[in-house]
Amino acid sequence: MKTKVLLFVASMILSATAIRAEKAVAGPAGGRLLDTEPARAEFVINAARKGEIRFYDAALKPLAPVQQVVTVTAEPAAGRVKLEVEKTEFGFVTKEAMPAGDPYRVVVQVRATPEAKPQNFRLDLALGNCGGCQRAEYACTCESH
């Protein structure tokens, strides 16, 4: 039992470290910028609580999706849900709203083309506002936490 708790704590510390390293650049639409190649991608929760993936060029100008394939998996305590996505002019959006029960883990998988190696991004979806940067917690850009 104790070992399990320690492993859990260790994995929490590891994921917190990974998130901190990605926090530097703010997503233009208020979301979390993902380090995708070649186009940059942003994961943002819109006003309808749907998850959007938006693509940008190196200068963070919006790009229409070309051949990218995206999947979004939410992992709330109630159980893992793979959300279907549809293409928009700027990227993709989930057909359904993100499940209730945040904070929870979300895995966004992006492939540059259907044949490309998938890039996986894990983020902790917390929708409350950060007191430091005034952004949503999942998109926080503060250095300190």
CB 140, min distance to Zn ion, A:
3
Window 112-141: residues binding Zn ion (CB under 5 A): 130, 132-133, 140
Q: What is the DSSP string of 113-133?
A: STTSPPEEEEEEE--SBPTTT
Interaction between residue 19 and Zn ion (CB under 5 A):
no
Nearer to Zn ion, 19 or 130 (CB): 130
Whether residue 38 has a cis bond before it, omega within 30° of 0: yes
Interaction between residue 101 and Zn ion (CB under 5 A):
no
Total chain residues near Zn ion (CB under 5 A): 5
CB 27, min distance to Zn ion, A:
13
Which residues are 133's β-sheet partners?
A: none
Residue 30, phi-psi category: left (phi > 0), alpha (psi -120 to 50), beta (remainder): left
Binding Zn ion (rule: CB under 5 A), the pick from 67, 118, 142, 143 is 142
Encoded tokens for 76: 């709330």
Nearer to Zn ion, 114 or 131 (CB): 131
Distance set, CA 48 to CA 39, 44, 96, 108 (Å): 25, 11, 9, 19
CB 144, min distance to Zn ion, A:
8
List residues binding Zn ion (CB under 5 A): 130, 132-133, 140, 142
